[in-house]
Amino acid sequence: MAIRERLSGNEAVAYAIKQINPDVMPAFPITPSTEIPQYVANYIANGKVDTEFIHVESEHSAMSAAVGASAAGARVVTATSSCGMALMWEELYVAASDRLPVVLALVNRALSGPININADHSDSMGARDAGWIQIYAESNQEVYDNFLQAYPIAEHESVHLPVMICQDGFITSHGVENILLVEDEKVKEFVGEYCPAHYLLKKEEPMAVGPYAVSSYYMETKRGQREAMKNARQVILDVAKRFEEMTGRKYGFFEEYRMEDAEYVIVLIGSAAGTCKAAVDKIRERSGKKVGLLKIRVFRPFPEEELAQALKDRKAVAVLDRSEMFSATGGPLGTEVRSALYGAKSKAGVVNYFYGLGGRDITVEDFEEVYTKLEKLAQTHKAEDMYAYIGLREK
């Protein structure tokens, strides 16, 4: 029987870490992810886990230590947010190119400046090209469930890539919600032991990790990472299937909410999906208009074909980005979704809006307005405000 609890998103991740009992956790505190290493440090102090906690002097060192420990053959976790992740930048790429299955609990927060501690995806979206698998959550339940699935994905022999488990700062990290926890024994069995085939401390097989690669090797390394990322697609689905067998909770690359007959669709990532669901229910109940939501769970690898298939025959689609990339056109999610639809020769009207930057709230009413605009777009075939900011103060 699942354990009925109420936890914040940070508590839920820390609880998952306790259940998994990884070998090493190097971490440096930063709001809003600070509580995760803090709770794990408590578990360690109280003898609940025997994880080796490394008190590092910066996030740069946290990810360096994670790379070192993982190369040595340990199962490693760390946690960070925002500018903390920015300080890890160099090592994020090292972890990925060294094919180290490190798991990073990322609590998404805006990057400076101006200084802001609230939810925003600019940290992980900036790192989308680093070679990490990225999995996002709508709720505390989802971030817990995603975390349990992280190691089986990361450590799979055909993948061997680091995984970022992302959740929205404060909205889920500090918000307490009902949650169903999985029993310890089931978690242990599900996640399994980490037995890497190759690792630095294996004395029968002396090896180097992360040496200089001349031009005649670098590109092949990248190709290897690319193949691993492609392999991750099937592994993510297989692990989700196994998770569903254990818990009854179904996961994929994305969640389709009331999409069977939907003509007007919002595509987004993260906690705002729950608010959007309430808008979908409200509109369908009030007017019967065929509105739906597609919530991205896996952003890296990008589920291009599946997304295009799910969206191409809709009348109009609004892709909502929670981070700027200052192309002065679209955002990271919008650009990739449009590219996928172009490849599928879709005739759906597409707009790409920005919302929630630096924690700006988005409400059910805001989503209702987006659906109204989509209806208009489908009628006029004219996107009047292609890259609008939702909820911007005009005065």
Partner 1 sequence: MKNTVEIRWHGRGGQGAKTAALLLADVAFKTGKYVQGFPEYGPERMGAPITAYNRISRDPITIHSNIYSPDYVVVVDDGLITSIDVTQGLKKNGAVIVNTERGREEIVSQLRRHGWKGSVYTVDARKISVEALGRYYPNSPMLAAVVAVSGVVTPAEFLKEMEDSFAHKFAKKPEVIEGNMKALDMTFAALAEDGRNPVRKSA
Neighbouring C-beta atoms of residue 301, cutoff 10 Å: 19
Identified binder of partner 1 from the candidate list 271, 323, 346, 352, rule CB under 8 A: 271
Among residues 6 and 242, whose Cβ is nearest to partner 1?
Answer: 6
Q: Which stretch binds partner 1 (CB under 8 A): 80-88, 186-194, 211-219, 359-367?
A: 359-367
Q: CB-based contacts of 265: which residues, under 8 Å, 6+ apart?
A: 259, 291, 292, 293, 294, 311, 314, 316, 317, 318, 374
Per-residue binding string, partner 1, 121-160, x by CB under 8 A, is: -----------------xx---------------------
- State how far the Cα of 316 lies from the Cα of 378, in Å rounded to an integer: 6
Query: x/- contact string, 17-36, with partner 1 (CB under 8 A)?
Result: --------------x-----
Nearer to partner 1, 207 or 278 (CB): 278
CA neighbours within 13 Å on the CB side: how many for 235? 23
Token representation of residue 324: 């700027």
- If one asks whether residue 232 binds partner 1 (CB under 8 A), the answer comes out as no
Structure tokens at 290: 């065929």
55: β partners? 27
State the nearest-atom distance from the C-beta of 358 to partner 1, in Å. 12
Q: Does 277 bind partner 1 (CB under 8 A)?
A: yes
Residue from the set 2, 56, 72, 176 that interacts with partner 1 by CB under 8 A? 176
Closest separation in Å from C-beta 280 to partner 1: 10
Residue with Cβ nearer partner 1 (6 or 223): 6
Q: How far is the CB of 6 from partner 1 (least distance, A)?
A: 4
Distance CA(83)–CA(85), nearest Å, equals 5
Applying CB under 8 A, the span of 192-200, 233-241, 339-347, 357-365 interacting with partner 1 comes to: 357-365
Burial grade of 335 (CB within 10 A; 0-12, 13-18, 19 or more):
middle
Q: What is the DSSP string of 240-287?
A: HHHHHHHHS----SEEEES-TT-SEEEEEESTHHHHHHHHHHHHHHHH
**Window of 39-47, 152-160, 275-283, 306-314 that interacts with partner 1 by CB under 8 A:** 275-283
**What are the residues facing 108 on neighbouring strands?**
168
Stretch that binds partner 1, among 63-71, 189-197, 216-224, 272-280 (CB under 8 A): 272-280
Instruction: Find the binder of partner 1 among 73, 175, 210, 358 (CB under 8 A).
Output: 175
Cβ-contact 112, 140 below 8 angstroms:
no
Q: What would the x/- binding string for partner 1 be over residues 35 to 64, using CB under 8 A?
A: ------------------------------
Tally of CB atoms within 10 A around 360: 20
Q: What stretch of H or E contains 106?
A: strand 103-108
CB of 128 or CB of 277, closer to partner 1: 277
Question: Where does this chain touch partner 1 (CB under 8 A) — which range of 37-45, 155-163, 214-222, 271-279?
Answer: 271-279
The single residue among 172, 247, 346, 352 that binds partner 1, judged by CB under 8 A, is 172
Binding footprint of partner 1, residue count (CB under 8 A)? 26
Q: Is 2 in the site for partner 1 (CB under 8 A)?
A: no
Give the nearest distance from C-beta 321 to partner 1 in angstroms: 17
Give me the helix-helix angle, 140-154 and 215-247, nearest 10°: 130
Does the protein bind partner 1 through residue 177 (CB under 8 A)?
A: yes
> What does the buried/exposed string (b/e) look like for 71-101 if buried means 16 or more CB atoms within 10 Å of the residue's CB?
bbebbbbbbbbbbbbbbbeebbbbbbbbbbb
Q: Give the DSSP H/E element, type plus range, for residue 94.
A: helix 89-97
Letters for 360-389 (x = contact with partner 1 by CB under 8 A, - = none) are: -xxxx-------------------------
Least separation in angstroms between CB 362 and partner 1: 6
Contact 333, 295 (CB under 8 A): no
- Partnered with residue 165 across adjacent β-strands are 105, 135
Q: Considering the rule CB under 8 A, would residue 358 count as an interface residue with partner 1?
A: no
Q: Which residues bind partner 1 (CB under 8 A)?
A: 6, 31, 117-118, 138-139, 168, 170-172, 174-178, 271-275, 277-278, 361-364
